[in-house]
Amino acid sequence: MALSQACTDNARTVCDEAQALERAGSEHRALWIKSCDAVVQAKGKFISCEAMGRFRDDYDDAMATRRKLKTMFLAPLDNLT
């Protein structure tokens, strides 16, 4: 999730790293990919973890994605006891 933020910042190198990690996880059917997909789909923010790491050329699209990532990142803090 943190690396996906780079895809909204025109940080192509880090965005490419996020995409490579997601591809590797998907190819190996990693449990973290399944878990991530389930979480983002349940929250209704993205259709998959792969969708979080898509490079955004359009400014408005990038800012909307940043807001979604922030919500996803901060969500666990709502459940602290």
Mean of pLDDT values over 55-81? 81
- DSSP per position, 44-67: TS-SSHHHHT----SHHHHHHHHH
Confidence of residue 81 (pLDDT cuts 50, 70, 90): low
The stretch 4-12 carries a mean pLDDT of 86
- CA-wise closest residue to 53 among 38, 75, 12: 12
Residues 6+ apart with CB under 8 A from 13: 6
The domains of the chain are located at: 3-75
pLDDT surpassing 80 at residue 77: no
Helix axes 59-74, 31-43, angle to 10 degrees: 100
Single out the residue of 69, 16, 5, 80 nearest to residue 39, CA to CA. Answer: 69
